[in-house]
Amino acid sequence: MVGIVILTGAGVSAESGLGTFRDKGGLWTKYDLSEVATPEGFARNPQLVHAFYNARRANALDAAPNAAHSALARLTAENDDVLLVTQNIDDLHERAGSNGVVHMHGEITRALCAVCEYRWDAPRVMDPVDTCPDCGTKATRPDIVWFGEMPYHMDRIIAAIEAADLFVAIGTSGEVYPAAGFVDIASTAGAETLEINLEPTPVPGRFDRVITGPATETVPAWVETLF
Ligand code: BJW
């Protein structure tokens, strides 16, 4: 088995009932991202941002992993040379059985103190009046990477991509950097690249190979070919 880095996006959780961002009816067609997914928006209106993420947390906790999450869990369980990186803030990969998932955009189930950077398990409902359990400041936020903030674990992810034989992007539009640039890093380093998506993403020729269709069908079928 080769060294594989897998990057997942919102499309992998779409069939679990969690909305994507940029598809028709997606989250960014209903909400102004500058108000709910930037540190400036949070500073202007923390109540609004907490309400947005409280609703997302409830949806995520009520959702169940689907066949794509399960297939990736099987792959990661049976092969320790696979790194699963997700842009998703839900915990559906973990609940399907994947260990060691790298959450580059943070986790909806975790809370962060904006003052002392202490992290803890988020309550189901967060509120601007909550205090940090460590320093006591009223500066609690969801542990999410907003626009303009540095995604987590970048050194580890890039080192893994540079060493991989295969890079696979699943259910992501490839519009948000730095994740959108991972395919170029993989290609430059000599890895084979594969996109699995409902439909091909707009820039043709970026990936060596493209598989199209719903993740619950394409991902289990692709994983099966590796065994
Ligand atoms: C299916 C399916 C099914 C559907 N089966 N498939 C100008 C140029 C270049 C870069 C920039 C720029 N201006 C600003 C930037 C940087 C910025 C950026 O990239 N902006 C672009 C939008 C232009 N990036 C950042 O700010 C990042 N940080 C950064 O760059 O740090 C460096 C830095 C720091 C300081 C100063 C300067 C630089 C941070 C990005 C944080 C992203 N955060 C979000 C929200 C938080 C998490 C949350 O609330 O959930 O993360 S945005 C949102 O997009 C979320 C996602 O993780 C992310 C990616 O979306 P994803 O997963 O691709 O979803 P969609 O909806 O776009 O696509 C779904 C896909 O699934 C589609 O293709 C469907 O076809 C498919 N699909 N159903 C299979 N059933």
Catalytic pick among 69, 93, 105, 153: 105
Give the percent of the chain with pLDDT over 90.
93
Q: What is the pLDDT of residue 117?
A: 97
Q: What is the pLDDT of residue 2?
A: 56
Mean pLDDT of all residues in 214-222: 98
Distance between CA atoms of residues 194 and 26, nearest Å: 24
Mean pLDDT of all residues in 64-93: 96
Q: CA-based Rg of the chain, rounded to a whole angstrom?
A: 18
Beta strands 140-144; 106-113: pairing state: antiparallel
At residue 79, does pLDDT exceed 90?
no
Distance 105 CA to ligand 1 centre (A): 9
Q: Which residue's CA lies nearest to atom 62 of ligand 1?
A: 9
Atom of ligand 1 nearest to the CA of 22: 66
Q: pLDDT (tens digit, 9 = 90+) per residue, 142-152?
A: 999 999 999 99
- Amino acid identity for residue 66 in this structure: N
Mean pLDDT of all residues in 60-82: 95
Confidence of residue 1 (pLDDT cuts 50, 70, 90): very low
Q: Is the CB of 142 under 6 A from ligand 1?
A: no
DSSP state letters, 177-216: TTGGGHHHHHHHTT-EEEEEESS--SSTTSSSEEEES-HH
Distance 177 CA to ligand 1 centre (A): 6
Q: Is the CB of 178 under 6 A from ligand 1?
A: yes
Q: Is the CB of 16 under 6 A from ligand 1?
A: no
Mean pLDDT of all residues in 5-11: 98
Q: Is 105 a catalytic residue?
A: yes
Q: pLDDT (tens digit, 9 = 90+) per residue, 131-190?
A: 999 999 999 999 999 999 999 999 999 999 999 999 999 999 999 999 999 999 999 999
Average confidence score pLDDT of the chain: 95
Distance between CA atoms of residues 151 and 129, nearest Å: 26
